[in-house]
Amino acid sequence: MTDVLARRTLEEPAAEQAIENLHVLLEQLWLDAAFVPAPDQMAFTTAVIEAASNVVQHGVPAEGATLVLGVELTVAVGRLRAVISEIGAAPLDPVPDLAGPADFPAPDDDALLEDYHESGRGLSMIRALVTTVTVEREGDTNVWVLSRDSDQG
């Protein structure tokens, strides 16, 4: 296993403040991992914020539960990884299609763009910015794992 060179974690109620705190956490991560090329930092940051924002905006708590956002960020040689957890969440229904194309619709197709803006834009953007995305159900938690290969040099 590759040694982790930098790590940050966050666990708090799935609210807008969590996203603000995540921005700060990512800034701190890049201070420790300044060797990661700027394009990789930007792409990974955007994907992580988008995925976490989806939890805050669209996450559904299980009956009687409070939804909590959990994020674990790690930097290893050649690999950036984020585990984003929807703790206390209802199961995803439907489970996102992670095997489909990650392409954005053509800008001249108004009908596709309208539907795209309503659903799927965030997942498509995440998939375009990282190397792999997976989602699993673990107990009462939906777990998203994003990783990006990085040429660190």
* Residue written as token pair 């792409």: 43
The angle formed by the CA atoms of residues 13, 5 and 138, to the nearest 5 degrees, is 40
Domain span holding position 99: 4-149
Mean predicted lDDT score pLDDT of the chain: 87
Question: Which CATH number do you get for residue 29?
Answer: 3.30.565.10
Question: In 3-state terms, what secondary structure has residue 106?
Answer: coil
The total number of structural domains in the chain stands at: 1
Question: In 3-state terms, what secondary structure has residue 87?
Answer: strand
- 75 has which bridge partners? 6, 80
Measured between alpha carbons, how far is 46 from 26 in angstroms, rounded to an integer? Answer: 10
The token pair that represents 11 in the structure block: 């666990």
pLDDT in tens, 66-86: 999 999 999 999 999 999 999
Q: Provide the whole-model pTM.
A: 0.85
pLDDT in tens, 25-66: 999 999 999 999 999 999 999 999 999 999 999 999 999 999
Question: How sure is the predictor about 142, in pLDDT bands with cuts at 50, 70 and 90?
Answer: very high
